[in-house]
Structure 1
Amino acid sequence: MSWHENSIMAHEGVAKGRRGASHKISIEDQGKFHYVYGPYADPVIEVEPGAVVSVETHDAFEGAIKEVVPNPSELLNFPFLNPQTGPIYVKGAEKGDALAVRILSIKPRGPQPVGTTCILAEFGGLVGTGDTAMLNPPLQEKVRKVPVDENGVYWSDTLTLPYEPFIGTIGTAPEIEAISSLQPDYYGGNMDLPDVAPGAIIYLPVNTDGGYLYLGDCHAIQGDGELCGVALEIPATVELQIDLIKGHGNAWPQLETEDRMMFIGSARPLEDAARIAYRELVRWVAAETGQSESDAYMLLTMCGKVRLGNMVDPKYSIGAAIEKKYLK
C-alpha cells in the first residue's frame, strides 16, 4: 500500500485522494503568463477536487536566455521573471480551506540544452544586492546552458548530476494583495524548496474563493539556498493531483512526504523564517499527538530538522520538519 493512502490528503480531502477527471494546460492554453499572485486574474481552468492536471510551465526567464551570452540581464525585463501558469480554480474552495496538491511528475520540456543557469549582476547569496548594498562592483555575468533529461543533468563531459526536479514557485492567491511571483510568503510562492518534488503533497492555505493555484519556476536540481540566485531552470511538464480540504485552517504551507511532515516559513531575516516554520510545526504536532505545546516544543528541540529553501529572494524560506516515526 502506498503511503499516500494514509496521507492527510487521503483522509481529509473531499475526493479522499481519489483521482478525478484529467485536464491539460498547454503553453497555448495559458496564453498570457502571470508575474503576480493575486485574485484578480481570470482562471485558465476550473476543476473539481480530485482532478489530475498536466501543466506546461516556462523556465524562470520565460525562455528569453536561449544561448550563452555575456550579459544575460540585458535579455530580461525585471521584475517580469518567474512566469506562472494558472490560476487554477478549484470548485468549492473557500477561505479557511486548503488545497492539497500531490506532485505526480516533473519532466523537462523543449529542445536541448533544456537547463539554464547564470550569474546576474547584484543578485545572489554571496554578493552585494539592492537590499544589501555594497560599493564593490558586481560579479561578471555568466550563462551556462546544460542538457537535462530524466536520467541526469549533464554538467560537463566528466560530471553528471542527478535529476532531482521540483517546483520552485507554487501557491494560492492572497485575499486582496497582488504580490510578485519572485516573493514567497504565507500563500506559498517562490519558496525554492527542493522538497516540493514528485511524490510530495503540499497543502496550501485558501484565502479566496476557488483558491487560485499558480505554479512555475521548475528546477532540474538545486542545492540548499539557491546560492547564486538561479538554480538549473527548466521549462517543464508537471502532472498534479489536486484535492480540497475543508476547514483545514493552516496559515502557512505544509508539506507531507513518505517519511516527514514539514511546515514552510518565509521572512527576513532568515531566523524569522525558521521561527515561523517551527511555530507552525509545534502547534501541529501538539494538535496531532494530543500533547501540550510545551512538550511538542521540547520534542522538536530533540528531533526537528530544518531545510533551507532560498536565501536570495525578497524573503527567505525555511522548512521545519519532523519524521513521522516520532508522531506517537
Structure 2
Amino acid sequence: MFSANLTTFHPTVFILLGIPGLEQYHTWLSIPFCLMYITAVLGNGALILVVLSECTLHGPMYVFLSMLAGTDILLSTTTVPKALAIFWFHAGEIAFDACITQMFFIHVAESGILLAMAFDRFVAICTPLRYTGILTPMAIAKMTLAIWGRSIGTIFPIIFLLKRLPYCRTNIIPHSYCEHIGVARLACADITVNIWYGFSVPMASVLVDVALIGVSYTLILQAVFRLPSQDARHKALNTCGSHIGVILLFFIPSFFTFLTHCFGKNIPHHVHILLANLYVLVPPMLNPIIYGAKTKQIRDSMAHMLSIVGKS
C-alpha cells in the first residue's frame, strides 16, 4: 500500500511528506512553526478565557470573537502538530479519517464568523438604539447555527466525492497536511467534479461573505462620517479597526493561496505548501494580538486577570 501500483484500493493510511524540496530545512522550519502554533493556542485560549470570565464581555461582539478564537485553535491544531511530527520524527502516516478531519477544519466557518462580526458592527454603529433588540441571544444562536450549517453543508459533498473515488496510484501526499485536491489527484478516475466543486463552491461562499462584509462596512463608513463630532467618529472607527485588520489578515492570504493554485503554475511546489502552512498559522497567531491591542475592554480584562494570577 505504501508504493504506487495499478491495483484499485481504498487507502486506510496516507503518507504526508511535509514540504518536498525543503527536507533539509525541516528542522529549522519547525522552530517558527512551533513558536507560531504555541502563540496561537495560548493567545486564543487566553482570549476565550477572558471573555468567559468577565461578565462585561458577554455581548454579541465578544461571543463571535470567542467563536473566531475557538475556530482558530481548531484550524491550527488539526494541521500544525502533524506537520511538526513530520519535521521532527518523520511520522508522515495519517489515517484516511484523520485526513477528512483536517479538510473539514481547513474549510471551517471562519469567513462566516467574520461576516457575523461585520453585521454586529453594522447594527452597533448604524442602529445603536436597536442593538440589543436585534442581536438577542436567540438571534445569535440562529446565526451560529447558520454559520456552522453552511460549513458542514459545504464540506460534506467533498467528503462524499473523495470516498467514492477508486485509488490505484500511490498513497503518498506531497504536502504537510491533507487537502481536497491533493488527495483527489491520487485517484485513478476522472476528478473533474472534485476540481470544480473544490474550487468553486468554497470560493463562492467566501466571495459572498466578502461582498456582504463590503456592503456592511460601506454603510458603516457612511454612518460614521455623518456623526457630528470628531471624537465620536474616531471612537466608532476605532471599534471597527481590529475587525478590519482581522478580515484583511484572513482574506488576503486566502485569496493569494487560491490565486497561486489557479494561476501560479511556474511557482515551485514547496512555495505553494509554505503559503498553505502560513494560511493556517499566521491568522490564528495574530488575531488575538490584534484584538488585544485594539480593544480596550479586552486589554483591561486581561490585565486584571494577570494581576489576580500574580497575586495568587
Query: Per the shorter chain, which TM-score range?
Result: under 0.3
Q: TM-score, normalised by structure 1?
A: 0.23
Which structure shows the higher strand fraction? 1
Which structure shows the higher helix fraction? 2
- Structure number with the bigger relative contact order (C-alpha 8 A, sep ≥ 6) is 2
